[in-house]
Amino acid sequence: MRYAVYDIGSNSVKFLVAERGPEGRGLRVLAEKSQATRLAEDLIATAELKPTAVERTLAVLRNLKAKADALGVGASRAVATSAVRDAGNRKQFLKAAAEVLGAPLLVLSGDEEAEGVYRGIASDPAFRGDLTGIDVGGGSVEWIAGRDGKIGERMSLPVGCVRLRERFIPAYPLPREALARFLADLQAQLEPALLPYRSPGRPIVGTGGTITAAAALDLGLAEFDGARIHGHSLTLARLEQMIAELAALDLAALEKIPGLPAKRADIVVPGLAVFIASLRLLGADRITASIRGLRYGILDALMEERPA
């Protein structure tokens, strides 16, 4: 049995095709892709998905569905997150996407998204101990505290990097004083919500495009290399240095940085700001990147429901 997952987020569509490894152990990934479609473009201002953003997303889904068919996928699941659950015209999008994929989409609540993210992180045996997971998406951010595959606390807030970019960063470069104010305001906003997650010494694991891009930059990678990024740790001091360097550049310069996807260039600063504010509030001095985010959690659940 081959399985496919479509994770339709606010900034990108993530796609994963896998089968069980030898003797039913582990995973054999056959295809994995992330394509930016910025489905949440102007969602704050209009409360609806823009027709152009919808068309970009549907075009990507058509190509990915063809890829899944070519690989002989036997079971699939498509989920949508923050942008779709918040949009006034979500029913029209869900109908159009279901026609493209030949199956209905499941719109996840914030809690369900957090649970899926944690399940994805914990699908790697290296991350099954005591930890706090942070997933920074385009529309929302999830924080999950868990141990041995079981969730203790979970939370989802609409402070994703696309939303923060549209609300608080009108242009680049972002002056040093403006960056400091942005970080301070974000930290003050998150402080009450993150009090239950504060546990100095507990490992912090990050997922999503921001932290994998940060890991790639820290490693000096010109192209995405999941094997090297997965498990790479960055200190809080390094993230603070990185955000200062990136915020000082104009958008054209950001788009030319090797290892930073051009379509993520304008949202990497607000994404890093969420991680920095979170680490400060949690009393942590480092974070470890995981490529096993929501799509891996959805895959793990699908494989359990539909065993080969």
- pLDDT value, residue 198: 94
Torsion of CA 294, 298, 304, 308, to 10 degrees: -120
Same domain, 135 and 255: yes
Residue 298 domain-assigned? Answer: no
Residues 98 and 241 in one domain: no
CATH number at residue 210: 3.30.420.150
pLDDT in the model for residue 23: 72
Q: Which domain holds residue 61?
A: 2-110
Asked if residue 138 and residue 39 are part of one domain, the reply reads no
Amino acid type, 123: S
**C-alpha distances out from residue 265 to 101, 149, 217, 272, Å:** 29, 34, 12, 12
In a domain, 297, yes or no: no
Specify whether 79 is located in the same domain as 157.
Answer: no
Is there a single domain that holds both residue 95 and residue 242? no
* Long-range contact set of residues 304-308: C-beta below 8 Å, sequence gap at least 24: 306/1, 306/3, 306/74, 306/75, 307/1, 308/1, 308/19, 308/20, 308/24
Q: Where a domain ends, among 110, 138, 169? A: 110
Residue 104 belongs to domain with CATH number: 3.30.420.40
Is residue 6 located within the same domain as residue 139? no
* Matching residue, tokens 């505290």: 145
- Assess if residue 305 is contained within a domain: no
Residues 6 or more apart whose CB falls under 8 angstroms from that of 119 comprise: 149, 296, 297, 300, 301
pLDDT tens-digit profile, the chain (308 residues):
999 999 999 999 999 999 998 877 789 999 999 999 999 999 999 999 999 999 999 999 999 999 999 999 999 999 999 999 999 999 999 999 999 999 999 999 999 999 999 999 999 999 989 999 999 999 999 999 999 989 999 999 999 999 999 999 999 999 999 999 999 999 999 999 999 999 989 999 999 999 999 999 999 999 999 999 999 999 999 999 999 999 999 999 999 999 999 999 999 999 999 999 999 999 999 999 999 999 999 999 999 998 87
Q: Last residue of some domain: 110, 140, 169?
A: 110
pLDDT score at 25: 76
Residues 153 and 267 in one domain: yes
Considering the domain boundaries, does residue 299 fall inside one? no
**179 and 88 both lie in a single domain:** no
At 21 the pLDDT is 84
pLDDT at position 196 is: 94
User: Which residue is listed with tokens 């239950």?
Assistant: 196
Residues 180 and 221 in one domain: yes
> Which domain-ending residue is among 110, 141, 170?
110
Q: Does a structural domain hold residue 116?
A: no
pLDDT of residue 307: 83
Phi, psi for 131 (deg, rounded to 5)? -160, 165
Specify if 98 maps to a domain.
Answer: yes
Tell whether 146 and 262 lie within a shared domain: yes
Q: Are 6 and 35 in contact (CB under 8 A)?
A: no
pTM reported for the whole predicted model: 0.94
Q: Give the number of domains in the chain.
A: 2
In a shared domain, residues 275 and 132: yes
The verdict on 70 and 158 lying in the same domain is no
- Look-up: residue for tokens 């680490």? 279
Residue 308 lies in a domain: no
Structural domain includes residue 256 = yes
